Amino acid sequence: MKRENHSRVSEFILLGLSDQPEQDRLLFLIFLLMYLITGLGNLLIILAIRIDPRLHTPMYFFLSNLSLVDICFTTTTIPKMLVNYISGNKEILYISCVTQAFFFLWFAGLDSILLGSMAYDRYMAICAPLHYTMIMTPRVYVLLVAVCWFWACANALTHTVLLTQLSFCGHNEIPHFFCDLGVVIRLACSDTFINDLVIYTMGGLTALIPFIGILISYFHIFVAVLKIPSAYGKRKAFSTCGSHLTVVCLFYGTIIGVYFNPTSTHTAQQDIASTVMYTAVTPMLNPFIYSLRNNDMKGALRMLLLRKPGFSL
């Protein structure tokens, strides 16, 4: 690859969600509220799982990690956007933009890989319970999650390093509210063939392997649950995976909507709407989906919120 001088563009302009200043105040309030709800809701989930010993199982360990990742995920994009709304300054430095793209890719990939691991965990627990209790020791699942963090980081780092090889000259207006890799790449004036290739292969695998794993796991779960004779057993098995399935549909539904649609049928505006869905709305909804449909989680939250002051975590 020919390395050209990329110092010609030292900052980008984030055009944001609207070009009317009157809308900015409303959007600011909506996103601030969404960010606060996301942080608080996910924090409550992490704390509730932590204080309730009955929830010290692989499934809830994954869930608490997913909440942590959701907090990090929204923190990479929303605070910067809020600051830009307040200051009225839409600039972002080249280095901040690259950093934001890196963290965004890291946590988005992690979200996807964790959702995949959670489906596999449910599959093992329902279809091979004896095997499951033997294999899924705390050592194994902590290690498994650590590997997810590492893989997602390596993936994000690869895309980011390739991004820094591009040169930008002239065009520096990003028609988006954060530095999304796919959008920033389109501004480059050097050849982006390798970047696109890596996005479609490595990025595709990071999103597709967990997705296919989820489909296969749920197919087996579904077949196994249909074989359970008692209605009570059926309901119990479904209640543990129903909420996960809801989150999976929300997350992948919107991602597939953004990235795997023929470009002719959707506009940039629709793209941004779907991106807002999976970057801000899904992480906000996760805690509600998990805690409203799950009695163990409700019990733990009650314990957390009603406990006597002074009881240490």
Positive or negative CA dihedral for 133, 138, 139, 140?
positive
**Binding of ligand NAG by 153 (CB under 6 A):** no
Closer to ligand NAG by Cβ: residue 148 or 214: 148
Selected range binding ligand NAG among 16-24, 57-65, 84-92, 300-308, rule: CB under 6 A: 57-65
Binding residues for ligand NAG, total number by CB under 6 A: 9
Sign of the dihedral through C-alpha 105, 106, 108, 109: positive
Could you tell me if 228 and 126 are in contact, meaning their C-beta atoms sit under 8 angstroms apart?
no
Distance CA 182, CA 174 (A): 11
CB of 222 to ligand NAG, least distance (A): 28
Q: Half-sphere exposure of 252 toward its Cβ, with a 13 Å CA cutoff?
A: 22
Complex with ligand NAG: residue 63 or 119, whichever CB lies closer: 63
What is the pairing mode between strands 11-14 and 173-174?
parallel
Q: Which residue has the tokens 């074989």?
A: 227
Closest CA to 72 of 111, 27, 30, 28: 111
Which residues between 206 and 235 bind ligand NAG (CB under 6 A)? none
Site for ligand NAG contains 197 (CB under 6 A) = no
Question: CB 65 → ligand NAG: shortest distance, Å?
Answer: 4
Indicate which single residue of 14, 145, 250, 255 sits in contact with ligand NAG (rule: CB under 6 A): 145
Which of residues 84 and 155 has its CB atom nearest to ligand NAG in the complex?
Answer: 155
Angle at 163 between CA 212 and CA 277, to 5 degrees: 50
Rounded least distance, CB 3 to ligand NAG, Å: 37
100 binds ligand NAG (CB under 6 A): no
Distance between CA atoms of residues 121 and 113, nearest Å:
12
Give the separation between CA 29 and CA 150, rounded to whole angstroms.
Answer: 35
C-beta of residue 39 within 8 angstroms of C-beta of residue 71? yes
State yes or no: residue 46 binds ligand NAG (CB under 6 A): yes
Please choose, out of 99-107, 143-151, 217-225, 303-311, the segment that lies near ligand NAG by the rule CB under 6 A. Answer: 143-151
> In angstroms, what is the minimal distance from the CB of 312 to ligand NAG?
17
One-letter identity of residue 2? K
Q: Please, which residue, 75 or 96, has the CB nearer to ligand NAG? A: 75
Q: How far apart are CA 302 and CA 296, in angstroms?
A: 10
Closest to ligand NAG by CB, 61 vs 252, is: 61
Q: Taking the complex as a whole, how short is the minimal distance between the CB of residue 23 and ligand NAG, in angstroms?
A: 36
Q: From residue 275, how far is each of 223, 263, 288 by CA, in Å?
A: 34, 15, 20
Q: Determine if 29 is a binding residue for ligand NAG (CB under 6 A).
A: no
Site for ligand NAG contains 64 (CB under 6 A)? yes
Q: Output the smallest distance, CB 297 to ligand NAG, in A.
A: 15
**Residue 42 interacting with ligand NAG (CB under 6 A):** no
CB of 70 to ligand NAG, least distance (A): 11
| Alpha-carbon dihedral sign for residues 50, 52, 58, 62 | negative
Q: Which two tokens stand for residue 146?
A: 């650590």
Residues that bind ligand NAG (CB under 6 A): 46, 61, 64-65, 68, 142, 145-146, 149
